[in-house]
Amino acid sequence: MASNIALVLLSVFALSINAGPIESPQDSNIFLNDMRFVDSE
């Protein structure tokens, strides 16, 4: 389960780099919340 979450985060991270800077603060907040969730496991 944790490995699947990590793969999704990597995919989202790669897509965000390809798309350029994240313009929506909500998107970056969701990404940061996901990172904290993974770190807490």
- pLDDT one-digit tens code per residue, 3-41: 888 888 888 777 766 655 555 555 556 666 665 555 555
Confidence band, pLDDT 50/70/90 cuts, at residue 2: confident
Residue 25 belongs to domain spanning: 2-40
Does residue 1 or residue 37 have the better pLDDT? 1
User: What's the predicted TM-score (pTM) here?
Assistant: 0.36
Q: Which residues contact 9 (CB under 8 A, 6 or more apart)?
A: 31, 34, 35, 38
Q: What is the pLDDT of residue 11?
A: 84
SS3 state at 16: helix
State both tokens at 24. 């929506």
Task: Say how many domains are in the chain.
Answer: 1
Q: What is the pLDDT of residue 29?
A: 61
